[in-house]
Amino acid sequence: MEADQLRLFKQITLDYFSKLAPDDEPALGEPYLQFGEARVLDYTSWVEIRGEYDGCLYLTSPTPMLEELLGINGEPEVSERTLLDMCRELSNVLAGNASQAFGGHWEISVPHSLSRGMVNGLELPESTFVMPIRWRDSESLLVVGLTQPSERRA
Amino acid sequence: MNLLIVDDSLIVRNAIERCVQNGEISSVFRAENGQEAVEMFAHHRPELVTMDLTMPKLDGLQAISRIRSIEPNSSILVISALNSHKTAMEAISRGACGFLTKPFTEREVGEALEELAAHARRIAH
Amino acid sequence: MAEAFIQRLTPQSTLAELPAYGLTLDVESRGKEAGRLFESDPDLPGIVVTKAGRVRFVLSRGQYLRLVSRNFGHEVFDPRPIQLMLDTLDADDEPLILEDRTAIQDAVGRALRRPRALIYEPIVVRSSPGSGREIAVVDFPDLLRADSRISALRNTQMEQILATVEEGFMMVDAEGRIATERSASVGKIFGIDPAAGLPLPVFLEPLLGEEKAELCKGYLATLFNPNVIEKLIADINPLLRAQVRTRNGTTKFLRFRFVRGLENGTIQRILVKIEDISREVELEEERRAEEMRAKERIGRIFEVVRADPGPLAAFIRKLSPELKRVRQWLDPEKGDLSFEDRLAQVYRVLHGLKGEAGLVGLDSFQRKAHLLEQQLTAARRSSELEVATLERLRNGLGELESAQDEIRSAIEQLRGLSAASADAVPSADPRRAHGAQGSRPINGREVVPFWDGMPGWIDKMSQRMGKPARFYTEAKADELPAQYRSPLRDVLIQLVRNSIVHGLEEPELRRKTGKPALATLQLAIRRHEDRGQLEVIFQDDGRGLDWQRIAERAQQLGLAARTRAELSRSIFTAGFSTAEQTDLDAGRGVGLDLVKTKLEGLGGSIYAHSEPGTFCAFQILLPIGP
C-alpha cells in the first residue's frame, strides 16, 4: 500500500459524498495501520480484489451512519436488510471506483457481509490501512489491504 | 415500454425505480442477479434494461451477451461502480448502449432513462 | 443538514455571520434558571455567565448536562447559584472572547489553540458597541462547518479560468482519419500540425503513450457504433484529462471531447474538441495539496490532543536521537558497517518506532514509518547501486524527520500559545513525563519547569535558522510561584525567538569575531526575599542591540529617548519592532510590547541591557509574596 493509493481512496470517498451530500463533507481521519484486534462496528461488508493488485477492502459502519446514508440515497425503508444492503453497496462503490485508477486490471467480488468473528479471522496483507470516515456525528472505518506486485514476486 | 432493473442491491433497485418518470414506461421488472435477469428478460422481453456488473451467479457482462443473443435490439444501460474504460468498452462491445458510473443522482438516472427510451423508439421504427 | 447561514457565507465572512445565542445569566442566578434556558431552546450551545457585569465563563450545554446528570445533580445545583457549577467545573480560565469582525478562518485557529479539555466548547463573540446584543455564544461545530464551506468557496475562482481557454477543433472520419479542416489552434496545442489522413490514435500515440492511444481507438469505434447512445458514454471518455508530452519535451494536460456528426441519420464523422487545461489541472493540484496539508496539520493537533501524555512524552524524547542514528547508518561516509548491516540496523529501529508510534496514537508518523520500512524491504532485494539505495532511503527519512518536527510543533502550539494549557500537554522532559498522569502536580515535588521542552525546541529552531544555539540554565523549577509558570513560558518563547531571529549572528560571522560558532542562550532565576522580588534573566551572546538603529526608530516614532536607559525602554513600545519580515519563527507581530504588557499585568516589569557585539539580556522583575 503506497501513499498515492491511500490518497486515491480518500479522494474516492470524498467524491462519493460530494455527489450525494454536497453540503455535508465527511472528515477523513488520518489512515493508520491495522494493528491487532480489528475494530468492528454494527455492519461489515467485505470485497475481494484481484488483478494487478491483490487484496481486499472492507467497510465497517455503525447503524446511525447507515441510516443517514439511506437517507441521502433516497431509501425510505430503514430495516436490518436495507442497513446491511447500504453497507454492501457503499463497499462495492468504493472498491469499484478505484478500477480506472488501477489501470483497469481490477476485478472485484460481490460484497459479502461479515460477522465480528469473521472479521478477526480474515487474513489481511501486512500493510493494511484503516481510514476513519466521520460524517454526521458517527464514524465508519474503511479498511484497505493491497499486495504490491513486487511483494508478490518476491 | 417495459423496463428491467438488474442490480444485486435492493436500495439501488429502489433508487432506479424511483427515477422512472417516463410515461412511456408501463411496467418495471426487477432482478437481483445475472441469471434471474436473463430468465426475466426471456419471459417479459422488456425494451429497456439497466444492468449492474458485479453480481452473484452470473455477472453483468455475461448477462448482456445472453440478453443480446435473445434479442439483438434490446437497449441496455450499464449502471456500475466499476469505472474503468476497459470494462466499459467491453460492456459496449457486448451490446450495451451506454454506461453510467455509481454513485448516481436520481436526476442522472432519470435523464439516462429518457435517452435510453428515445433510443429504443428509434430502433423500433 | 445545511443551515441557511452556511449558504450565505462568503470567503470574507466573519464571526458576525454565524448563529449566535445572546443569553446571559449572573453567577448569582440559580442553577435551575440555566436549565430552563437550555430546555426552552434545544439548539442553545451555551449561556454566558457574568459576574458584576463582566464575562466570567460560558456554561455549555455539555457541561451543564454533565453536572445535573450526577447523582442528585438537580437537587444540588438547581436551587443554588451558578457559581457552584463553576466551582465544581474548576473553571478558572477566561473563555475565548473574539470580536465579531474576526475572520472565520482566524477564529478557527484561535479556537483550536484552547486547552484540550475546552477545545469543543462554545466561544464568546463580542460585537461592536451599540449594536444591541453585545455578547453572544457561538457553537464550535458551527464554526468548523463555516470554515470548511469557506474553503470550498475559494475553489470557484478556477471556473473563471476555464472560460478563457482556447479550443482546438478537428474532424475524424469513420476510419479514425484526421480531416483537412481543423482550427488554427490545433497546431499550437500539440506543438505540431497533424497530417491530414493520419488516423487520430496513430497521431496521438507518441504524445499519449500506447495505452491511451489504444483506448482512444476503442472509444472512436464506440462513437461510430449506432447502438451506442452518445450522451450515455460521456462518463467513459478516456481522454477527458490526458497528459501529453509534446515534441519539445514539455508536459501538458489536454481535454478531448467528441461529438457525433450526423448526416441523414447516420454517423459520418466525429468532431474532436481539444482544450489545453494545464493551468486548471495545476491549480487544482495545488489546491488539493494545500487542502491535504491543512487537514494533516489539524489532524496532527488532534492526534496530540488524543494521545496519552506519559507514553507520548517518552516516545517524543527517544525519537530525535533514534532518527539521528538512522541518518548516520544511511550515510555511507559514516561508520564502517556493511551495506546489509546498515539496512538491518535501520530496519530494527524503524520497526520499533513504528510500533510505538501506533501505541501512543501518532497515526500519521506510524504510517510514514511504515512506508519507509516498505521501501527498505524492497531495497534489500533490489539490484540498484548501494549508494543510490541509501540516498533514496535518506530522502524517505526526511519525511519522517519532518513528521517529527510537525508533531513537536503541534505540541508547541498547544502548549506555548494557550496560556493555561501547560499542564494539559505532554512534554519532552523526563521529570515531566513521570508526573504527567495526574492533572496538576500540587506538592511541589515534581514541579514542571516553565522552560520544559525548550532545549529541544531551541536546538531544532536554531538549526533551521542556520544559527545553531544551545540553551543553558541552572535554575530550579520550584524557584518560582506556580501562577507565573505559564505566562513566563510565553514570554520566554518570544524572547528566544527574537534572539535567534534577530540577536544571533551567523556561525561564520561569530567565528570571525572570535566567538564560538555555537551560540548560547541562558536563563537564570534569582529570588530576592528582602525586596519581595523574583528576578528572571534571559541572555544571549549575540550581536547585542543596535543602539544606532534604535535611536533612529525612536525618533521616527517621535519618542523622547536619548540615553541608553531611555532607548532600552523604547524597544517595548507598540509598533517598535524593526524586523524586516515576519515568519513562523519570528512570530507574527507578537512583539516586545506584548511581552511588556503581559508582565505588567502580573505586576512585573522588564528591562533590556546590551553591549554591542557581545550580549543582549532581558531582566524581568516580578513580585513574590512575603
The CATH number of the domain holding residue A44 is 3.40.1550.10
Number of domains in chain A: 1
Q: What is the pLDDT of residue C444?
A: 36
As a whole number of angstroms, the distance between CA C495 and CA C598 comes to 13
Rg (CA), chain B: 13
pLDDT tens digits, one per residue of C42-61: 889 999 998 888 888 899 88
The model's pTM: 0.53
| Chain A residues closer than 8 Å to C152 by CB | 25
Q: Which of C223, C227, C231 to substitute to test the interface with B, most B CBs within 10 Å?
A: C227
pLDDT tens digits, one per residue of A84-117: 999 999 999 999 999 888 877 788 999 998 887 7
Whether chain A has a CB inside 8 Å of the CB on B12: the answer is yes
Per the domain annotation, does A21 fall within a domain? no
C-alpha cell at A154: 518476491
In the predicted model, is pLDDT for residue B45 greater than 60?
Answer: yes
The residue type of C94 is: E
Per the domain annotation, does A59 fall within a domain? yes
pLDDT tens digits, one per residue of A11-52: 899 999 989 988 888 888 777 777 666 788 999 999 999 888
Cβ distance of C303 and A7 shorter than 8 Å: no
Chain B residue closest to C238 (CA)?
Answer: B85
Q: What is the pLDDT of residue C429?
A: 41
Find out whether B80 and B53 touch, Cβ atoms under 8 Å. Answer: yes
The residues that bridge with B60 in the sheet, in sequence order, are none
As a whole number of angstroms, the distance between CA C217 and CA C327 comes to 50
Q: What is the pLDDT of residue C305?
A: 64
C-alpha cell at B41: 428478460
Higher pLDDT, B104 or A37: B104
Chain C: which residues have CB within 8 Å of chain A? 1-2, 6, 148, 152, 211, 292, 295-296, 299, 303, 354, 358, 363-364, 366-367, 370-371, 374, 377-378, 381
Q: Give percent helix, percent strand, percent coil of chain C, each to the nearest 5.
A: 50, 20, 35
Q: What is the 3-state secondary structure (H, E, C) of C539-573?
A: EECCCCCCHHHHHHHHHHCCCCCCCHHHHHHHCCC
Q: What is the pLDDT of residue A152?
A: 46
Q: What is the pLDDT of residue B38?
A: 96
Q: What is the pLDDT of residue A153?
A: 41
Q: Which domain holds residue A88?
A: 3-14+26-153
ipTM: 0.91
Domains of chain C: 4-154 (3.10.580.10), 166-276 (3.30.450.20), 302-448 (1.20.120), 469-623 (3.30.565.10)
Architecture of domain B2-124 in CATH?
A: 3-Layer(aba) Sandwich (3.40)
Q: What is the pLDDT of residue B54?
A: 94
CB within 8 Å of C107: residues ≥ 6 apart? C15, C98, C123, C143
Among A34, A125, A143, CA closest to C367:
A34
Cβ distance of A127 and C1 shorter than 8 Å: no
Q: What is the pLDDT of residue B56?
A: 92
Write the residue in B86, B99, B111 that is nearest to C233 by C-beta: B99
Parts of chain C with a pLDDT under 70: 1-3, 129-133, 154-166, 294-311, 358-361, 413-449, 452-453, 457, 460-461, 464, 575, 577-591, 626
The rounded Cα C172 to chain-centroid distance in angstroms is: 52
**pLDDT, mean of residues A49-60:** 89
Distance (Å) from the alpha carbon of A23 to chain C's nearest alpha carbon: 6
Per the domain annotation, does A19 fall within a domain? no
Q: Show the CA angle centred on residue C261, arms to residues C258 and C263, nearest 5°.
A: 165
**Local structure of residue B81 (DSSP, 8 states):** S
Among C347, C350, C9, CA closest to C147:
C9
* Pairs of CB atoms within 8 A across A/B: 68
